[in-house]
């Protein structure tokens, strides 16, 4: 019986591919023992138990990016994280440790290296994080989402698997229009017209203030150009709803804060306006959906890099956050929606840059390492 320890957490960008991989491994090996280590402060606290996997908390040992009082306590926190992780490994005795980045992965990698346990690293972003750069030094496998990511295994092998996609999104990508959720059925569930050109606007579950503001300012033109499903993010709908009322409440402009089951929105969409987190870029590419990507302007620039491959392939466009005015947004949406041939071509090119079987590819690498 295989024993697999998965390490990662914090954001959905780490947790979702971890769970997609766990589900694929459980499908292949129903009798396998699969456990997860994470932190009490990340999304894994709710998502991992809900998915049916045992979760052990590891003390959070974040490396500050600059001088701060937190740096003084780092050695003690790192020792505590290593000790806890070591106990988990000694009790669970995994055949392989699979890391997805985040604060918990560094102690998991270090403890596994010290015990001679094979390590598989999966890097979601185009710009690798500190934990995975450390793990790549001695990993048996480094698996990349994007071929352009500058990360390679020093001793093992480096492969491009793509992003492990969870459940309905992966099924929709694999099956296309013949899949479990078709456009007409999804449109009925969402109250949309399946025959109308549809633009999905989303900043993710937390929303994106600049995208919401630009869409609110452009709302009359957007509603005249296409049917719109605008997901504002939890608690961030007020300005968009006010703009909707001022525009006469057009019936084809649908405002929601959040949607459970994004695959339904994807099944209806012809064009997407969104941030370019790695998960979003990979889902849209796998589904062959053209997009206007507005990279988050803070951080280390990874969101722009995440979209680089699909944009280079012609499957999307990048709009800088600072340039995202209502006029800019309306003009690009109007032009694309009016040109069905260009949209179709963009979708095909997006699909050429994406993969829908990232979880299967990563599971293959994990199996080969134990």
Q: Which residues are CB-neighbours of 131 under 8 A, at least 6 positions away?
A: 99, 101, 102, 103, 105, 106, 109
Report CA-CA distances (Å) from 320 to 210, 287, 312, 328, 329. 11, 24, 16, 11, 11
Give the pLDDT score at 73. 56
Give the pLDDT score at 177. 47
Q: Which residues are CB-neighbours of 29 under 8 A, at least 6 positions away?
A: 1, 2
> Of 229, 169, 241, which Cα lies nearest the Cα of 196?
229
E strand segments, 235-370? 253-256, 271-274, 291-293, 316-318
Cβ contact 292:348 at 8 Å = no
Give the pLDDT score at 178. 46
pLDDT in tens, the chain (370 residues): 899 999 998 877 789 999 999 999 999 999 999 999 999 888 888 899 999 999 999 987 665 555 555 555 566 777 888 899 999 999 999 999 999 998 899 999 999 999 999 999 999 999 999 899 999 999 999 999 999 999 999 999 999 999 999 888 998 988 764 445 689 999 999 999 999 999 999 998 788 999 999 999 999 999 999 999 999 999 999 999 999 999 999 999 999 999 988 999 999 999 999 999 999 999 999 999 999 999 999 877 889 999 999 999 999 999 999 999 999 999 999 999 999 999 999 999 999 999 999 999 999 999 999 8
Q: What 8-state DSSP symbol labels residue 321?
A: G
Give the pLDDT score at 195. 96
Cβ contact 7:99 at 8 Å = yes
Strand ranges of the sheet holding 3-7, from the earlier edge strand across to the other edge: 55-57, 33-38, 3-7, 96-99, 119-123, 141-144, 157-160
**Beta-sheet pairing, 157-160 with 141-144:** parallel
Give the pLDDT score at 319. 98
304 by DSSP, 3-state: which? helix
Query: Structure tokens of 226?
Result: 């296409």
pTM score of the predicted model: 0.88
| Domains by residue range for the chain, with CATH | 3-163+356-369 (3.40.50.2000), 167-352 (3.40.50.2000)
């Amino acid at each position: 019986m295989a024993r697999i320890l998965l390490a990662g957490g914090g954001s959905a960008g780490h947790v979702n591919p971890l769970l997609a991989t766990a589900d694929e491994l459980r499908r292949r090996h129903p009798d396998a023992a699969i456990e997860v280590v994470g932190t009490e402060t990340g999304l894994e606290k709710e998502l991992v138990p809900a998915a049916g996997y045992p979760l052990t908390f590891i003390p959070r040992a974040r490396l500050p990016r600059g001088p701060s009082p937190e740096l003084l306590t780092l050695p003690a926190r790192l020792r505590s994280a290593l000790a806890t992780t070591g106990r988990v490994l000694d009790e669970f005795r995994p055949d392989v440790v699979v890391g997805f980045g985040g604060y918990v992965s560094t102690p998991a990698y270090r403890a596994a290296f010290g015990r001679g346990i094979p390590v598989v690293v999966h890097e979601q972003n185009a710009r690798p994080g500190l934990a995975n750069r450390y793990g790549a030094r001695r990993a048996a496998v480094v698996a990349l989402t994007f071929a352009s990511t500058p990360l390679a295994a020093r001793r093992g092998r480096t492969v491009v698997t793509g992003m492990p996609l969870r459940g309905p999104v992966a099924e929709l990508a694999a099956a296309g229009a013949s899949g479990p959720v078709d456009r007409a059925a999804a449109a009925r569930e969402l109250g949309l017209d399946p025959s109308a050109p549809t633009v999905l606007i989303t900043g993710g579950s937390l929303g994106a203030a600049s995208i919401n503001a630009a869409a609110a300012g452009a709302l009359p033109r957007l509603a005249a150009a296409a049917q719109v499903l605008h997901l504002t993010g939890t608690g961030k709908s007020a300005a968009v709803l006010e703009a909707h009322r001022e525009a006469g409440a057009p019936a084809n402009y649908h405002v929601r804060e959040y949607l459970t089951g994004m695959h339904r929105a994807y099944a209806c969409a012809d064009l997407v306006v969104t941030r370019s987190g790695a998960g979003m870029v990979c889902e849209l590419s796998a589904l062959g959906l053209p997009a206007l990507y507005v990279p988050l302007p803070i951080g280390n620039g990874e969101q722009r890099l995440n979209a680089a491959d699909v944009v280079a392939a012609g499957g999307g466009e990048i709009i800088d956050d600072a340039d995202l005015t209502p006029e800019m947004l309306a003009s690009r949406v109007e032009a694309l929606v009016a040109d069905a041939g260009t949209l179709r071509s963009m979708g095909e090119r997006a699909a050429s840059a994406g993969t829908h079987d990232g979880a299967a590819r990563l599971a293959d690498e994990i199996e080969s390492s134990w």
